[in-house]
């Protein structure tokens, strides 16, 4: 196999140094979801990847029906919530990536939704530390929203039940309820119908981050449904999911939005093709893109590192190695 040959060749030459753009964030430790601080609370908001993504067709409400298995990964934005002397909710955005600092931000909308649900007026300063880029299919905005709902509920001791939090989340966005629950779930409908999958699925994820932002709306608009492809894949994947064989689902690398995503960006199409030509057939698209990933067993961590170096050598594309999130 070509990939095996490349790995052998790589061991025979000087090793490439990993720069900040090619990070190894794998660790035996997994941060907790909440971290206490003086006068406030830090909530870690994980990214996600889609282990499988089927499109069942366009619904009567104009949305596309999806059937997806999602897994949280140990790469986080942070929501820092502090009590404030001022009435209202103040949002400050920091970090490596831009995020809107106005009412369009789901963090602000989450806080307002809590106020409406509880019929209260909050006095909070919220700082969003944006580590995960938008437009990548990693769900960071949805995760930030979920973390804000959970964090305000915890810090302010509002005692809103999980089911009510899920209901609030579903009014704010399709992916948000997933981030309220466990680290692995099957999601259907628009993404808001959640069935948690209670199995352990440890992995190392080589996350490939092209310098391309892809509009989810444009990917779905550009998508052309293939009912026969959906039916064929559904008959294979659903029985596997029912048996909770998540590893087998992941190995199929099924995402029905891949073609649509690549059609919208020549850079994405070229990168996807280039990586495939390297023999890296574990390549998958997360969500509507632009992030790509490859999964490895924990025992294959060295192989994952080698693949990361090959990618660096041949594409120069930013990548990170991360574990699955434990919560």
CATH code assigned at 111: 3.30.230.10
Q: What residues pair up with 36 in beta bridges, in sequence order?
A: 41
What's the pLDDT at 31?
Answer: 83
What's the pLDDT at 28?
Answer: 63
What's the pLDDT at 272?
Answer: 97
> pLDDT under 50 in the chain at which residues?
1-19
Is residue 59 within 8 A of residue 93, CB to CB? The reply is no
Nearest to 70 by CA among 212, 190, 182: 182
Report the C-alpha gap between 90 and 101 in whole angstroms. Answer: 9
Whether the ω angle into residue 111 lies within 30 degrees of 0, i.e. cis, is: no
Does the pTM surpass 0.85? The reply is yes
Nearest to 291 by CA among 326, 270, 311, 261: 261
Q: Domain containing 319: what range?
A: 2-323
Interaxial angle between packed helices 140-155 and 106-118, expressed in degrees from 0 to 180 and rounded to the nearest 10: 40
**Coil vs helix vs strand at 147:** helix
Residue with tokens 């998540």: 246
What residues act catalytically? Answer: 48, 175
Total tally of structural domains belonging to the chain: 1
| Intra-chain end-to-end CA distance of the chain, in Å | 37
What is the radius of gyration, based on Cα positions, of the chain? 20
Report the C-alpha gap between 241 and 207 in whole angstroms. Answer: 23
């Amino acid at each position: 196999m070509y990939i095996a040959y490349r790995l052998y060749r790589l061991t025979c030459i000087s090793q490439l140094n990993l720069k900040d753009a090619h990070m190894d964030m794998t660790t035996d430790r997994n941060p907790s979801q909440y971290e206490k601080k003086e006068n406030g609370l830090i909530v870690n908001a994980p990214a996600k990847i889609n282990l499988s993504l089927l499109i069942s067709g366009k619904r009567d409400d104009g949305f596309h029906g999806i059937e997806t298995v999602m897994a949280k990964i140990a790469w986080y934005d942070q929501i820092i919530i502090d009590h404030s002397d001022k009435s209202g909710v103040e949002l400050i955005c920091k970090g490596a990536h831009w995020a809107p600092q106005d009412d369009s931000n789901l963090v602000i909308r989450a806080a307002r939704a809590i106020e409406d649900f509880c019929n209260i007026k909050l006095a909070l300063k919220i700082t969003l530390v944006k580590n995960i880029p938008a437009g990548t299919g990693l769900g960071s905005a949805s995760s930030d929203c979920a973390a804000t709902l959970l964090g305000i509920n915890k810090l302010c001791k509002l005692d809103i039940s999980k089911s009510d939090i899920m209901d609030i989340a579903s009014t704010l966005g399709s992916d948000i309820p997933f981030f309220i629950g466990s680290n692995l779930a099957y999601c259907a409908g628009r993404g808001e119908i959640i069935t948690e999958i209670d199995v352990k699925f440890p992995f190392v994820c080589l996350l490939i981050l092209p310098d391309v932002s892809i509009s989810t709306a444009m990917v779905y608009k550009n998508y052309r449904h293939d009912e026969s492809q959906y039916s064929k894949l559904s008959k294979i994947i659903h029985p596997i999911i029912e048996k909770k064989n998540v590893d087998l689902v992941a190995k199929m690398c099924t995402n029905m939005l891949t073609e649509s995503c690549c059609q919208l960006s020549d850079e994405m199409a070229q990168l996807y093709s280039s990586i495939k030509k390297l023999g890296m057939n574990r390549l998958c698209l997360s969500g509507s893109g632009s992030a790509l990933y490859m999964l490895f067993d924990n025992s294959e961590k060295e192989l994952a590192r080698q693949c990361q170096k090959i990618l660096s050598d041949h594409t120069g594309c930013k990548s990170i190695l991360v574990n699955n999130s434990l919560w």
